[in-house]
Amino acid sequence: MGILNITPDSFYANSRYDDLSKVLIQVEKMLSAGATFLDIGGHSTRPGARPVGEEEELSRVLPVVEIIIKHFPEALISIDTFRAGVALKCVEAGAIMVNDIAGGLLDDKMFETVANLNVPYILMHSRGTPETMQQMTDYDDLVMDVLDDLQQKVFQLRQLGQKDIIIDLGFGFAKTINQNYILLNHLRDFEVMECPMLVGVSRKSMIWRTLDISPNDALNATTVLNTIALTKGANILRVHDVKEAIEAVKLVDMLSIEEN
């Protein structure tokens, strides 16, 4: 899953695209490199991010969805939003998946909306808002608390008729650096939910703060963690750098080859 941030303040500057011609160039690059999905977001969710209104978010992402569908009709577009209204408009315009970093917490209409739209839904674990989440990292039992939260929400979604649910443990969202690594190490524990797992660690602070580098220098380390995630059961990698992620996928797939 290639990331397209249509925001002026995404934490990784090289992932920001505010010009439609640049968007199309990047889309072609990602699809050529092997991306299965393109994840389009118009509201930065980095810790402390400035909130933007629904109309502003929609004005950022809707033209991008439309122009990608026009020029790359084969593209599978995910809309990265926690707002049901934005999800609805973008799916109507051609998006085929909703990626909700709030797991339904910030819009009580989200679960019902995605169930009615009948599109795959990425359910991410988080707490609070982008402004407050880093003050909400106290857990009784990190792995069990995250698992329990996701299981309760999957149950709610199933009751509404939602069929395709992908889970995301929410690396960097209401988690300390150490907690991120604990969850990554326990990724296999979440297979009990019988849902595909998306892992999004690309160039995040859990990498560059640990190594005392910048997001710009975090590609190699991102590939290391993506590889670990794949060996622990990740099904989708959400990344800024598609080519390198595809290489990791291909090499990890080689480990499943048995000797004749």
Can you tell me whether residue 58 is helix, strand or coil? Answer: helix
Catalytic residue among 188, 238, 243, 250: 238
Q: Tell me, yes or no, if 204 is annotated catalytic.
A: yes
Give me the DSSP letters along 196-219. Answer: -EEE--TT-HHHHHHHT--GGG-H
Give me the DSSP letters along 29-46. Answer: HHHHHT-S-EEEESS--S
Q: What is the spatial distance between Cα 201 and Cα 222, in angstroms, rounded to a whole number?
A: 7
Question: What residue has token string 């004749």?
Answer: 260
Catalytic residue among 83, 153, 203, 204: 204
Question: What residue has token string 């699809």?
Answer: 31
Strands 97-100 and 236-237: unpaired
Question: Is the distance from CB of 18 to CB of 6 less than 8 angstroms?
Answer: yes
Q: What is the spatial distance between Cα 63 and Cα 229, in angstroms, rounded to a whole number?
A: 33
Q: Tell me, yes or no, if 238 is annotated catalytic.
A: yes
Angle at 251 between CA 245 and CA 255, to 5 degrees: 135
Residue 136 tokens, joined: 């909400």
Q: What is the spatial distance between Cα 97 and Cα 224, in angstroms, rounded to a whole number?
A: 27
Catalytic residues: 204, 238
